[in-house]
Every structure is written in C-alpha cells, then in structure tokens.
Amino acid sequence: MCGVGGWVYRMKYRGTLKLHKAMILDIDIVWYDCPEIRCEYRAKAKGNFKQHRAHVHDIGVTWFDCPEHNCSY
C-alpha cells in the first residue's frame, strides 16, 4: 500500500507499487532523455522513449514499401 503524499493506492503485485511511485510520484525514476540535438523530450518509460525516437526522428524504424505497381506509398 502506498501512503506517500496522501495517496491511498493498493496493489496485488510488488512491481505495480514501483511503477506507481515512478510514474505518479517521481520516486526512484529513471529518465530517458532524447540525445538528438535541440530535442528536449524526456520519458519515464523506455517504450515511450523508443516510440518518440521512431515517430519524431525516424530512428529504429523499419520501412516497408508498397508492392503494388506504380504505388509510391
């Protein structure tokens, strides 16, 4: 049970408490800062960081061309 900051948060699994403290209360958090020049994005979750890099900077993306004739998609 979390009692930090007046929160009444109960969970069944230990990992959920750690996630709650990191995401909601910023306790024991690991920040993922974007290393790209002039980008100030930072994320609390590695998955969000990877998604940002793929959508904004086209890093880690696998592109698939349309196989239809005369299609530029």
Answer yes or no: is 45 within a domain.
yes
Q: What is the pLDDT of residue 5?
A: 66
| Half-sphere exposure (Cβ direction) of 10: Cα atoms closer than 13 Å | 0
Q: In whole angstroms, what is the distance from residue 28 CA to residue 45 CA?
A: 13
Answer yes or no: is 41 within a domain.
yes
Judge contact between 4 and 25, C-beta under 8 A.
Answer: yes
Q: What is the pLDDT of residue 3?
A: 65
Full domain range(s) for residue 18: 1-28
21/44 same-domain check: no
Q: Do strands 32-33 and 42-43 pair parallel, antiparallel, or not at all (unpaired)?
A: antiparallel
Q: What is the pLDDT of residue 24?
A: 77
Per-residue pLDDT of the chain (73 residues; tens, 9 = 90+): 566 666 666 667 666 777 777 777 888 888 999 999 999 999 988 999 999 999 999 999 988 889 999 988 8
Q: What is the pLDDT of residue 72?
A: 81
Alpha helices in 1-73 (DSSP H): 14-23, 46-57
Q: What is the pLDDT of residue 57?
A: 96
Answer yes or no: is 12 within a domain.
yes
CB atoms inside a 10 Å sphere around CB 27: 13
